[in-house]
Structure 1
Amino acid sequence: MNEQRYTVGVVQAAPQYLDLAASVDKAVALIAQAAQDGARLLAFPEVWLPGYPWWIWLDDQPRPALVQRYLAQAFTHDSPAARTIAQAAAAHRIHVVVGMAEHEGDQLYIAQWLVDPRGVTLLKRRKVKPGPLEQRVFAEGGEHDLPVVDTDLGRVGALACAEHRHPLLKHAMHLQGETIHVAAWPSFSLAGIPNMSSPETFLAISRTYAVEGGCYVLAPCAPVTQQMRDLVCETPAQAARLQVGGGHAQIFSPTGDPLCQPLPPDAEGILFAEISPAAVTRARQAFDLAGHSARADLVWLDGPLSRKGNA
């Protein structure tokens, strides 16, 4: 592992909602800004391209016009949008992790994509199990969607949103020895919905991941804008449920310390932190789920996920 310190960034900004081309332009500007400020990796929120389908939380209506628009603006890996982002990563010599609604065949997936400073794809994955309401829009991923890959910065992996509440999915990732984990969240902007946790709880989940895995956790998060709210909310009750703001991006150290001064929940920007690979080594000398702290003789993953490093 390269022991030289380096800078990473997380995005707290809204996409140009349901407009893929305009959102890609904004992503390119953020990539350029991050690189200018010295970052070697920039992470975007969940389904940032072309935005999260907030209407699924507001009622049980099918919303066919919004669904068709969403499908038309979704991301594909063989598109001009993909080439533009890869070219931006190469032009600015930076790793980029993007969250998108990926369209393949007749399905949409909650997906994440890592390109390196050459514009080369290192990682593509899909959310293994979308939430119950998300299943109105998105299909499931599969056994190949828990990768951790080698990069110039160390080993990098990613999960999306509520996947971080699933102990076995997290364990499969921890066994692969991440240096950096991207915990992508859409926004913490929903109110008055039973069983929805607070922003503090979700940030605690990201923080816990860092401590359990002995790795850095980059937690990008996008605020909801008034334009997004106006587009998907049809009643005052819906508008009260989906609030403007909800951006709570953060970066956590392998000991769980927050490394950034948070932005206001409705503000946009990039948060930066310095990564020290030696801090990962120190954390795992104290506790290593894939090493001396493991008890694979008592508890283990079985089936396809056992290939992720469990003996």
Structure 2
Amino acid sequence: MSNRHVKVAVIQAAPILFDKQSAMDKIASMTREAAGQGANLIVFPEVFLPGYPRGLSFGTRVGSRNADGRKDWERYWASSIDIPGAETGILGELAKELGVYLVIGVVERDREFSTGTLYNSMVYIGPDGALLGKHHKLVPTGAERLFWGQGDGSTLTVIDTPFGRIGGLICWENYMPLARMAMYAQGIDIYLAPTADARDTWQATIRHIACEGRCFVISCNQFATKASYPTDLACYEDIKDDADMLSRGGSAIVGPLGEYVVEPLENQEGILIATLDLSQVVQSRFDFDVTGHYSRPDVFQLIVNDKKQEVVRTVGIQN
């Protein structure tokens, strides 16, 4: 790694769903493999720890929930993590040992907000083992609203590194133009877009973001099959008759003019490796700078509320 170049790794894989240890073991092994190939920045998919519950209903219909679904939900809650917590401590030790930046999608029990709500989060860990920040997904997509809460503007995180500023949004947050603009305004150079969307239309999205933000885009998805699902889940019946491949992947790396640095990887587990030349970011903004000469603040302005939203605030009352 130099100040203008960084080798990045994109992990396309899936753990055993609801199995925290499976996810931690896979993170450790694949991080070591990527670091062994010289990667300095290693990115894991959306909610890799402890997995994306694609196809599961948690026993829910409009107007009702059943007892078995609640038990599956409790199992998901138990396999989620605290930030900071025991798991981020272990991941910090791993990052420090290997001298890498780690960015991992996790399901988080954020006890600052609630003891019952889970959040779809992205956690950033530095090569010194320090917890650098996190991001809560602002709007869970579709049925995801059943099991994840909404984030707020306090975690629109961008991290300074020796090779540039990194940050990002999760899955369909990337369809929110104002959220993207909030990230661009922080001078993002490497934009992370972990996702659970394996459709062809997602590729158009990440290439557009690269052109719009004049930044590198790292898109990271899981490759998942039914073999990664515990068959003793009450709601396993929801996917029993589905095709064996539940997510084909589609992870890719895109350059700041919208071209693929690494083409999408599909239908298999794997690691994408690329060396990014950050001087290309500066060069790409010569003719289009979304927060500079193309911003027109005399016509358009965006207000971002970056304050943590609190349900209860205690204030002193003076006599």
- Find the aligned partners of 1:86 and 1:99 in 2 and give their Cα distance: 15
For the aligned residue pairs, the C-alpha RMSD in angstroms reads 2.1
Q: Which residue of structure 2 aligns with residue 100 of structure 1?
A: 106
- Find the aligned partners of 2:29 and 2:37 in 1 and give their Cα distance: 12
Q: Structure 1 residue 186: deviation in Å?
A: 2.4
After superposition, the Cα gap between the structure-2 partners of 1:305 and 1:209, relative to the gap in structure 1 and judged at 3 Å, is farther
Where do 1:291-306 residues align within 5 Å? 291-304=292-305
Instruction: Please list every run of 5 or more consecutive structure 2 residues that lacks an aligned counterpart in the other structure.
Output: 308-319
| Structure 2 residue corresponding to 1:79, chosen from 62, 85, 96 | 85
Q: Structure 1 residue 125: deviation in Å?
A: 1.1
**Tell me, what secondary structure is at the counterpart of 1:39?**
coil
8 Å CA contact retained: 2:124, 2:132: yes
- TM-score of the aligned structures, taking structure 1 as reference length: 0.88
8 Å CA contact retained: 1:56, 1:133: no
Instruction: Please list every run of 5 or more consecutive structure 1 residues that lacks an aligned counterpart in the other structure.
Output: 189-198, 307-311
8 Å CA contact retained: 2:56, 2:236: no
After superposition, the Cα gap between the structure-2 partners of 1:235 and 1:74, relative to the gap in structure 1 and judged at 3 Å, is closer
Q: Structure 1 residue 75: deviation in Å?
A: 1.2
- Find the aligned partners of 1:5 and 1:24 in 2 and give their Cα distance: 29
Q: Structure 1 residue 187: deviation in Å?
A: 4.9
Q: Which residue of structure 1 aligns with residue 237 of structure 2?
A: 234
After superposition, the Cα gap between the structure-2 partners of 1:101 and 1:242, relative to the gap in structure 1 and judged at 3 Å, is farther
- Find the aligned partners of 1:217 and 1:107 in 2 and give their Cα distance: 30
8 Å CA contact retained: 1:58, 1:233: no
Q: Structure 1 residue 26: deviation in Å?
A: 0.9
Q: Structure 1 residue 162: deviation in Å?
A: 0.4
Tell which deviates more after alignment, 109-118 or 253-262: 253-262
Q: Which residue of structure 2 aligns with residue 273 of structure 1?
A: 274
- 1:166 pairs with 2:176: yes
Q: Which residue of structure 2 aligns with residue 69 of structure 1?
A: 75
8 Å CA contact retained: 1:187, 1:224: no
Q: Which residue of structure 2 aligns with residue 177 of structure 1?
A: 187
**Tell me, what secondary structure is at the counterpart of 1:249?**
strand
Q: Which residue of structure 1 aligns with residue 225 of structure 2?
A: 225
Where do 1:227-266 residues align within 5 Å? 227-228=227-228, 231=231, 232-234=235-237, 239-240=241-242, 243-265=245-267
Q: Which residue of structure 1 aligns with residue 200 of structure 2?
A: 200
- TM-score of the aligned structures, taking structure 2 as reference length: 0.86
- Find the aligned partners of 1:235 and 1:102 in 2 and give their Cα distance: 24
- Find the aligned partners of 1:264 and 1:142 in 2 and give their Cα distance: 33
Q: Identify, as 1 or 2, the structure richer in helix.
A: 1
Q: Which residue of structure 1 aligns with residue 140 of structure 2?
A: 130
Q: Identify, as 1 or 2, the structure richer in strand.
A: 2
Give the letter aligned to residue 255 of structure 1: L
- Measured against aligned partners, the alpha-carbon deviations of 1:31-89 in whole angstroms (never above 9, x if no partner) come to 11111101110111101100012244697444222211100000112432111111111
| Percent identical residues | 30
- 1:43 pairs with 2:49: no
Give the letter aligned to residue 302 of structure 1: I
Q: How many residues align?
A: 293
Give the letter aligned to residue 277 of structure 1: L
- Measured against aligned partners, the alpha-carbon deviations of 1:146-192 in whole angstroms (never above 9, x if no partner) come to 1212112210112100001111101111111111111011252xxxx
Tell which deviates more after alignment, 141-150 or 296-305: 296-305
8 Å CA contact retained: 1:11, 1:269: yes
8 Å CA contact retained: 1:233, 1:239: no
- 1:114 pairs with 2:115: no
- Bigger Rg over Cα: 2
Q: Structure 1 residue 22: deviation in Å?
A: 1.9
After superposition, the Cα gap between the structure-2 partners of 1:85 and 1:211, relative to the gap in structure 1 and judged at 3 Å, is same
